[in-house]
Amino acid sequence: MSPCKRLIMTVGDSRVGKSTVIRLLIDLLCSQGKRIRAYDHDNRRKLDSYKYFIPVESINFNGGTDQILEEIKNGYDAIAIDMPGQQIDRICEYMDNVNLFKVLTEVGWQLTFVQPISHRLDCLEYLEQLLAFAEDKADYVVVKNQHFDQKFQLYQNSSYSQLMTLGGTDIILDELNKYSYEAIERLGCPYSQAISSISIYSVYRAYVYKWIKNFHQSILNNSIAQRHLGLLQINQEQEQRHDDF
Protein backbone atom coordinates (compact mmCIF):
# COMPACT_ATOMS: atom_id res chain seq x y z
CA MET A 1 0.00 0.00 0.00
CA SER A 2 1.11 3.56 -0.67
CA PRO A 3 2.29 5.91 2.06
CA CYS A 4 0.49 9.15 2.79
CA LYS A 5 1.43 11.81 0.25
CA ARG A 6 3.30 14.72 1.81
CA LEU A 7 3.80 18.42 1.31
CA ILE A 8 7.13 18.98 3.08
CA MET A 9 8.16 22.51 4.02
CA THR A 10 11.51 23.45 5.51
CA VAL A 11 10.91 26.47 7.73
CA GLY A 12 12.52 28.49 10.51
CA ASP A 13 15.37 30.88 11.09
CA SER A 14 17.85 31.95 8.42
CA ARG A 15 21.24 30.26 8.14
CA VAL A 16 20.33 27.19 10.21
CA GLY A 17 20.60 24.62 7.41
CA LYS A 18 17.14 24.58 5.77
CA SER A 19 18.51 24.22 2.24
CA THR A 20 21.05 21.65 3.39
CA VAL A 21 18.34 19.59 5.07
CA ILE A 22 15.96 19.70 2.11
CA ARG A 23 18.70 18.55 -0.24
CA LEU A 24 19.47 15.64 2.08
CA LEU A 25 15.76 14.82 2.17
CA ILE A 26 15.50 14.92 -1.62
CA ASP A 27 18.39 12.45 -1.86
CA LEU A 28 16.68 10.13 0.63
CA LEU A 29 13.26 10.32 -1.00
CA CYS A 30 14.77 9.66 -4.42
CA SER A 31 16.74 6.70 -3.07
CA GLN A 32 13.46 5.27 -1.78
CA GLY A 33 11.88 5.51 -5.22
CA LYS A 34 9.56 8.42 -4.46
CA ARG A 35 8.24 10.61 -7.25
CA ILE A 36 8.81 14.15 -6.04
CA ARG A 37 9.26 17.73 -7.16
CA ALA A 38 10.69 20.72 -5.33
CA TYR A 39 10.14 24.45 -5.08
CA ASP A 40 12.69 26.99 -3.89
CA HIS A 41 11.64 30.24 -2.24
CA ASP A 42 15.30 31.17 -1.69
CA ASN A 43 16.89 33.47 -4.26
CA ARG A 44 20.23 31.72 -3.77
CA ARG A 45 18.81 28.85 -5.89
CA LYS A 46 20.29 26.15 -3.69
CA LEU A 47 18.15 23.43 -5.27
CA ASP A 48 19.17 24.05 -8.88
CA SER A 49 21.66 21.18 -8.86
CA TYR A 50 18.76 18.74 -8.31
CA LYS A 51 17.10 19.65 -11.61
CA TYR A 52 18.80 16.62 -13.16
CA PHE A 53 16.94 14.37 -10.68
CA ILE A 54 13.55 16.00 -10.22
CA PRO A 55 11.53 19.02 -11.39
CA VAL A 56 12.69 22.13 -9.49
CA GLU A 57 11.20 25.61 -9.77
CA SER A 58 11.77 28.94 -8.05
CA ILE A 59 8.70 30.71 -6.68
CA ASN A 60 7.80 33.48 -4.26
CA PHE A 61 4.83 34.72 -2.30
CA ASN A 62 4.08 37.40 -4.89
CA GLY A 63 3.16 34.96 -7.59
CA GLY A 64 3.30 31.32 -8.63
CA THR A 65 2.73 29.77 -5.22
CA ASP A 66 -0.76 28.55 -6.11
CA GLN A 67 0.71 26.25 -8.75
CA ILE A 68 1.92 24.02 -5.92
CA LEU A 69 -1.69 23.19 -5.14
CA GLU A 70 -2.22 22.22 -8.78
CA GLU A 71 0.84 19.94 -8.82
CA ILE A 72 -0.60 17.97 -5.90
CA LYS A 73 -3.01 16.43 -8.41
CA ASN A 74 -0.26 15.22 -10.76
CA GLY A 75 0.71 11.93 -9.16
CA TYR A 76 3.64 12.97 -6.99
CA ASP A 77 4.43 11.17 -3.74
CA ALA A 78 5.85 14.30 -2.15
CA ILE A 79 6.38 17.98 -2.89
CA ALA A 80 9.26 19.68 -1.07
CA ILE A 81 9.37 23.44 -0.55
CA ASP A 82 12.36 25.32 0.85
CA MET A 83 10.63 28.28 2.49
CA PRO A 84 12.35 31.60 3.21
CA GLY A 85 13.90 32.16 6.63
CA GLN A 86 12.46 34.45 9.28
CA GLN A 87 9.09 34.73 7.54
CA ILE A 88 6.86 32.58 9.73
CA ASP A 89 4.17 35.28 9.78
CA ARG A 90 3.97 35.36 5.98
CA ILE A 91 4.01 31.57 5.74
CA CYS A 92 1.10 31.27 8.17
CA GLU A 93 -0.76 34.07 6.38
CA TYR A 94 -0.28 32.32 3.05
CA MET A 95 -1.61 29.02 4.42
CA ASP A 96 -4.68 30.81 5.76
CA ASN A 97 -5.31 32.65 2.50
CA VAL A 98 -5.30 29.50 0.37
CA ASN A 99 -7.06 27.29 2.97
CA LEU A 100 -4.09 24.96 2.70
CA PHE A 101 -5.11 22.49 5.40
CA LYS A 102 -8.58 22.06 3.89
CA VAL A 103 -7.20 21.65 0.36
CA LEU A 104 -4.69 19.02 1.46
CA THR A 105 -7.32 17.08 3.40
CA GLU A 106 -9.63 17.01 0.39
CA VAL A 107 -6.95 15.39 -1.81
CA GLY A 108 -5.56 13.04 0.86
CA TRP A 109 -2.28 14.85 1.45
CA GLN A 110 -0.64 15.86 4.72
CA LEU A 111 1.60 18.82 5.55
CA THR A 112 4.91 18.24 7.33
CA PHE A 113 7.02 21.10 8.66
CA VAL A 114 10.73 20.34 8.86
CA GLN A 115 12.56 22.89 11.00
CA PRO A 116 16.30 22.86 11.58
CA ILE A 117 17.29 24.60 14.81
CA SER A 118 20.48 26.09 16.17
CA HIS A 119 21.41 27.36 19.63
CA ARG A 120 19.51 30.63 19.04
CA LEU A 121 16.31 31.53 20.88
CA ASP A 122 14.82 32.82 17.61
CA CYS A 123 14.59 29.24 16.35
CA LEU A 124 12.42 28.23 19.28
CA GLU A 125 10.21 31.28 18.98
CA TYR A 126 9.55 30.44 15.32
CA LEU A 127 8.87 26.81 16.21
CA GLU A 128 6.44 27.72 18.99
CA GLN A 129 4.64 30.16 16.70
CA LEU A 130 4.27 27.44 14.09
CA LEU A 131 3.00 24.89 16.62
CA ALA A 132 0.45 27.37 17.95
CA PHE A 133 -0.74 28.19 14.43
CA ALA A 134 -1.03 24.73 12.87
CA GLU A 135 -1.55 22.63 16.01
CA ASP A 136 -2.53 19.06 15.06
CA LYS A 137 -3.38 19.96 11.45
CA ALA A 138 0.26 19.38 10.46
CA ASP A 139 3.14 17.11 11.39
CA TYR A 140 6.52 18.28 12.64
CA VAL A 141 10.12 17.13 12.35
CA VAL A 142 12.74 19.23 14.18
CA VAL A 143 16.33 18.84 12.98
CA LYS A 144 18.92 19.49 15.68
CA ASN A 145 21.83 20.85 13.66
CA GLN A 146 24.94 19.93 15.61
CA HIS A 147 27.00 22.45 13.70
CA PHE A 148 25.60 24.93 16.24
CA ASP A 149 25.03 22.92 19.40
CA GLN A 150 25.26 19.47 20.91
CA LYS A 151 22.77 19.51 23.80
CA PHE A 152 20.07 22.01 22.76
CA GLN A 153 19.13 22.78 26.35
CA LEU A 154 16.85 25.71 25.43
CA TYR A 155 14.88 23.47 23.09
CA GLN A 156 14.74 20.57 25.55
CA ASN A 157 13.49 22.86 28.33
CA SER A 158 10.82 24.67 26.32
CA SER A 159 9.55 23.64 22.89
CA TYR A 160 10.27 19.92 23.16
CA SER A 161 7.28 19.00 25.32
CA GLN A 162 4.86 20.94 23.10
CA LEU A 163 6.31 19.26 20.01
CA MET A 164 5.85 15.82 21.56
CA THR A 165 2.28 16.61 22.60
CA LEU A 166 1.44 17.30 18.97
CA GLY A 167 3.02 14.04 17.81
CA GLY A 168 6.19 15.59 16.43
CA THR A 169 9.69 14.23 16.60
CA ASP A 170 13.30 15.36 16.30
CA ILE A 171 16.32 14.00 14.48
CA ILE A 172 20.03 14.82 14.40
CA LEU A 173 22.10 16.41 11.66
CA ASP A 174 25.73 15.73 12.54
CA GLU A 175 28.32 18.44 12.28
CA LEU A 176 30.36 18.24 9.08
CA ASN A 177 33.82 19.79 9.13
CA LYS A 178 33.93 23.03 7.18
CA TYR A 179 36.45 21.82 4.60
CA SER A 180 34.26 18.90 3.55
CA TYR A 181 31.16 21.09 3.50
CA GLU A 182 32.87 23.79 1.45
CA ALA A 183 34.09 21.14 -0.99
CA ILE A 184 30.62 19.78 -1.73
CA GLU A 185 29.15 23.29 -1.93
CA ARG A 186 31.77 24.33 -4.49
CA LEU A 187 31.06 21.22 -6.52
CA GLY A 188 27.44 22.30 -6.98
CA CYS A 189 25.95 18.86 -7.52
CA PRO A 190 23.52 16.71 -5.52
CA TYR A 191 25.04 15.45 -2.30
CA SER A 192 24.45 11.86 -3.40
CA GLN A 193 26.77 12.48 -6.37
CA ALA A 194 29.39 14.44 -4.44
CA ILE A 195 30.48 11.34 -2.52
CA SER A 196 31.74 9.76 -5.74
CA SER A 197 33.37 12.83 -7.27
CA ILE A 198 37.13 12.47 -7.70
CA SER A 199 37.43 16.27 -7.65
CA ILE A 200 37.03 16.10 -3.85
CA TYR A 201 39.78 14.68 -1.65
CA SER A 202 39.00 11.11 -0.68
CA VAL A 203 39.10 11.92 3.03
CA TYR A 204 36.51 14.66 2.51
CA ARG A 205 34.34 12.26 0.53
CA ALA A 206 34.53 9.81 3.41
CA TYR A 207 33.37 12.46 5.88
CA VAL A 208 30.53 13.49 3.58
CA TYR A 209 29.46 9.89 3.04
CA LYS A 210 29.25 9.29 6.79
CA TRP A 211 27.44 12.60 7.31
CA ILE A 212 24.78 11.75 4.73
CA LYS A 213 24.42 8.18 5.93
CA ASN A 214 24.00 9.23 9.57
CA PHE A 215 21.32 11.79 8.71
CA HIS A 216 19.37 9.37 6.57
CA GLN A 217 19.71 6.68 9.22
CA SER A 218 18.40 9.06 11.89
CA ILE A 219 15.20 9.19 9.83
CA LEU A 220 15.02 5.51 8.94
CA ASN A 221 15.53 4.54 12.59
CA ASN A 222 12.69 6.84 13.68
CA SER A 223 9.24 5.53 12.74
CA ILE A 224 7.58 8.88 13.48
CA ALA A 225 10.01 10.73 11.20
CA GLN A 226 9.46 8.08 8.52
CA ARG A 227 5.70 8.52 8.80
CA HIS A 228 5.88 12.32 8.69
CA LEU A 229 8.09 12.24 5.60
CA GLY A 230 5.92 9.73 3.74
CA LEU A 231 8.33 6.83 4.00
CA LEU A 232 6.18 4.38 5.97
CA GLN A 233 3.66 2.24 4.14
CA ILE A 234 0.09 2.62 5.37
CA ASN A 235 -0.01 -0.88 6.84
CA GLN A 236 3.25 -0.13 8.66
CA GLU A 237 1.73 3.11 9.96
CA GLN A 238 -1.26 1.23 11.33
CA GLU A 239 0.98 -1.28 13.09
CA GLN A 240 3.12 1.51 14.55
CA ARG A 241 0.10 3.44 15.80
CA HIS A 242 -1.18 0.26 17.47
CA ASP A 243 2.22 -0.17 19.15
CA ASP A 244 2.10 3.46 20.31
CA PHE A 245 -1.00 2.65 22.34
Q: Does 245 reside within a domain?
A: no
Q: What is the pLDDT of residue 8?
A: 96
Q: 73-105 b/e with 16+ CB inside 10 Å = b?
A: eeebbbbbbbbbbebbeebbeebeeeebbeebe
Q: Does 244 reside within a domain?
A: no
User: Is residue 65 very low, low, confident or very high in pLDDT (cuts 50, 70, 90)?
Assistant: low
Q: Does 243 reside within a domain?
A: no
pLDDT digits (tens, 9 = 90+) for 160-171: 999 999 999 999
Q: What is the pLDDT of residue 242?
A: 39
What's the CATH code of the domain at 85?
3.40.50.300
Q: Does 120 reside within a domain?
A: yes
- How many structural domains compose the chain? 1
User: Is residue 73 very low, low, confident or very high in pLDDT (cuts 50, 70, 90)?
Assistant: confident
Residues above pLDDT 70, as percent of the chain: 90
pLDDT higher than 70, residue 237? no
Mean of pLDDT values over 206-225: 97
Q: What is the pLDDT of residue 161?
A: 95
| 205: containing domain | 5-238
* 108 φψ region: left (φ > 0), alpha (ψ -120 to 50), beta (else): left
Q: Does 186 reside within a domain?
A: yes
